[in-house]
């Protein structure tokens, strides 16, 4: 595999997918993406991608309701494909974490979110004029580094991989080639270097160091964009640190700053704290992102608060002994709390609002 051509160019060539020899651009279906701008979400197996997508989806649904009768309405549609985004959102609302995507189970699903922002001018007399619409697609590239390596081996060994698999390869390459930015999910509880690693890597097929697994995935995904002139430039990277509630509870005394601080994520101190954490615990990943010279890199702490019993012990689902229950918001009797808290969980909602606002920077006019 040539490093000059790029990983995904080689995959496309081996899979027999048409490539323009002059520009090395892939022959992709014109209707693959309905939006002009897109940000791809990536991460290794078990990093919390499904929960992050569910968090964005649940938050987006709240924002749709809250902006419905304003001059700045927000809309969100799910492009579910063969994924389980709707079910993942439903599970979150019921206090369940989405089921983990398993490695070595096939190619990624075409799925994602289509976000829309609208600006209206109030003309009076219950009339308004739409000034602009902006759209952004967030495709979910739910494919781990080990799956990418498996794909390379499969394509190299078997020339005729079938049209279904060939389409999957084509779509995966399109996710990367046509993305303006990336959301990178890092599992905070896998961080090494503290008195103990809260969640060791269990898969024997990957490195014990989560930093190695993440940087390998990024190298494979970003090498294509860096070596292909026809690829869109990377305009931004959001780094989402997941499981921050567990980090704060178990290692807060060593970390020395509050990962759950509700202050605005624009705060320079919080951003520097998060940056130092990523740079120290995931040094190769941080160096790879910064070395891309991306103009817009931002860090986001994510958590879904675990439910506890009267003695403070975390509760787990009987049918899923490894999955903690997510705390549900309280609805007080004889009140209208249900209007805001019914089917809502305790999670980093403000962070997800900030993430959606950050994504707006990439939205393109219709």
Cβ within 8 Å of residue 102, ≥6 positions away: 45
The order of strands in the sheet holding 364-365 is: 74-79, 112-124, 127-139, 364-365
Residue 101 lies in a domain: yes
CA–CA dist 88, 98 (Å, integer): 5
* pLDDT in single tens digits along all 366 residues of the chain: 333 344 455 556 655 555 555 544 444 443 444 567 778 888 887 888 889 999 999 999 999 999 999 999 999 999 887 678 899 999 999 999 987 655 444 444 557 889 999 999 988 887 889 999 999 888 776 554 455 555 555 555 555 556 656 666 666 666 666 788 889 999 999 999 999 999 988 777 778 899 988 888 787 666 767 777 777 788 899 999 999 999 999 999 999 988 887 666 667 888 999 999 999 999 999 999 998 888 899 999 999 999 999 998 999 999 888 899 999 999 998 899 999 999 999 999 999 999 999 999 888 876
What residues make up the domain containing 210?
7-304+348-365
The answer to whether 222 and 174 are in contact (CB under 8 A) is no
CA–CA dist 46, 43 (Å, integer): 8
SS3 percent helix, strand, coil of the chain, rounded to 5, is 40, 20, 40
Residue 2 lies in a domain: no
Do 235 and 319 belong to one domain?
A: no
- The distance from CA 188 to its chain's CA centroid, rounded to whole angstroms, is 14
What CATH number should be reported for the domain holding residue 265?
3.40.50.300
Do 67 and 115 belong to one domain?
A: yes
Q: How many CB atoms lie within 10 A of CB 242?
A: 27
DSSP annotation string for 185-239:
EEEGGG--SSSS-SS----TTS-SSHHHHHHHHHHHHHHHHHH-TTSPPP-EEEE
Residue 203 lies in a domain: yes
Do 202 and 333 belong to one domain?
A: no
CA–CA dist 334, 191 (Å, integer): 45
CA–CA dist 142, 84 (Å, integer): 12
Provide the number of structural domains found in the chain: 2
Do 124 and 243 belong to one domain?
A: yes
Do 215 and 331 belong to one domain?
A: no
The pTM is what?
Answer: 0.82
Closest CA to 122 of 69, 177, 179, 159: 69
Closest CA to 297 of 362, 360, 236, 226: 236
């Amino acid at each position: 595999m040539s490093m000059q051509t790029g990983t995904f160019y080689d995959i496309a060539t081996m899979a027999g997918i048409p490539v323009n020899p002059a520009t090395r651009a892939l022959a992709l279906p014109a209707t693959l993406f309905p939006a002009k701008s897109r940000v791809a979400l990536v991460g290794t197996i078990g990093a919390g991608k499904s929960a992050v997508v569910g968090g964005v989806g649940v938050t987006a649904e709240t924002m749709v309701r809250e902006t419905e009768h304003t001059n700045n309405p927000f809309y969100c549609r799910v492009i579910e494909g063969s994924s389980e985004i709707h079910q993942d959102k439903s599970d979150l609302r019921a206090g369940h974490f989405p089921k983990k995507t398993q490695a070595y189970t096939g190619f990624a699903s075409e799925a994602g979110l289509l976000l829309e922002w609208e600006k209206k001018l109030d003309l009076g007399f219950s009339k308004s004029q739409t000034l602009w619409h902006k759209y952004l697609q967030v495709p979910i590239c739910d494919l781990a580094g080990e799956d990418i390596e498996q794909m390379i081996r499969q394509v190299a060994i078997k020339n005729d991989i079938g049209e279904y698999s060939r389409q999957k390869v084509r779509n995966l390459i399109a996710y990367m080639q046509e993305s303006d930015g990336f959301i990178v999910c890092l599992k905070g509880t896998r961080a090494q270097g503290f008195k103990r690693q809260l969640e060791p890597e269990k898969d024997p097929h990957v490195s014990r160091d989560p930093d190695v697994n993440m940087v390998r995935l990024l190298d494979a995904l970003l090498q294509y964009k860096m070596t292909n002139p026809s690829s869109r430039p990377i305009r931004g990277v959001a780094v989402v640190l997941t499981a921050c509630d567990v980090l704060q509870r178990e290692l807060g005394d060593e970390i020395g700053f509050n990962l759950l601080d509700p202050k605005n994520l624009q705060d320079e101190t919080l951003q520097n704290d998060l940056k130092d954490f990523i740079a120290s615990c995931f040094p190769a990943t941080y160096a790879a992102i910064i070395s891309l010279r991306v103009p817009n890199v931002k860090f986001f702490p994510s958590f879904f608060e675990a439910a506890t019993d009267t003695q403070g012990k975390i509760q787990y689902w009987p049918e899923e002994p490894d999955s903690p229950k997510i705390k549900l918001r309280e609805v007080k009797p004889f009140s209208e709390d249900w209007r805001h808290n019914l089917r809502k969980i305790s999670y980093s909602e403000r962070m997800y609002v900030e993430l959606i606002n950050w994504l707006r920077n990439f939205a393109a006019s219709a």
